[in-house]
Amino acid sequence: MQSLCAQIDKLRVLQAAGVVTAVIPPVEEIPGGGKIHRPAQALAITDKGEEALHQPADMVAQRTSAHNISSGHGPAILS
């Protein structure tokens, strides 16, 4: 099973891609150098997300990658 931090990072990627709406609390620093990662919540799949679910995965990756390149973002990460 993935760590909570890894799961939240994946949710951040999906939110940044515009395929879900989510509430992702900021990481909190605690005394002594530790960090607290509060649970995140995926609220809904967006219209863009619904559209992506109905397309072959290779088409979604190509479209997202082309969008990220044209908008100055890095390579797409979808899982």
Q: How do residues 32-72 score in pLDDT, each as one tens digit?
A: 988 888 889 999 999 999 998 998 877 666 665 655 544 44
pTM of the model: 0.62
DSSP state of 55: S
Q: Is the pLDDT of residue 12 over 60?
A: yes
- Residue 35: the pLDDT is 87
- Residue 71: the pLDDT is 47
- Residue 17: the pLDDT is 95
CA 26 – CA 12 distance, rounded (Å): 11
**H-type helices in the chain, by residue range?**
4-16, 47-53, 57-70
pLDDT band for position 5 (cuts 50, 70, 90) = confident
Q: Structural domain boundaries of the chain?
A: 4-70
How far is residue 11 from each of residues 31, 33, 38, 73, 78, measured CA to CA in Å? 27, 25, 13, 17, 10
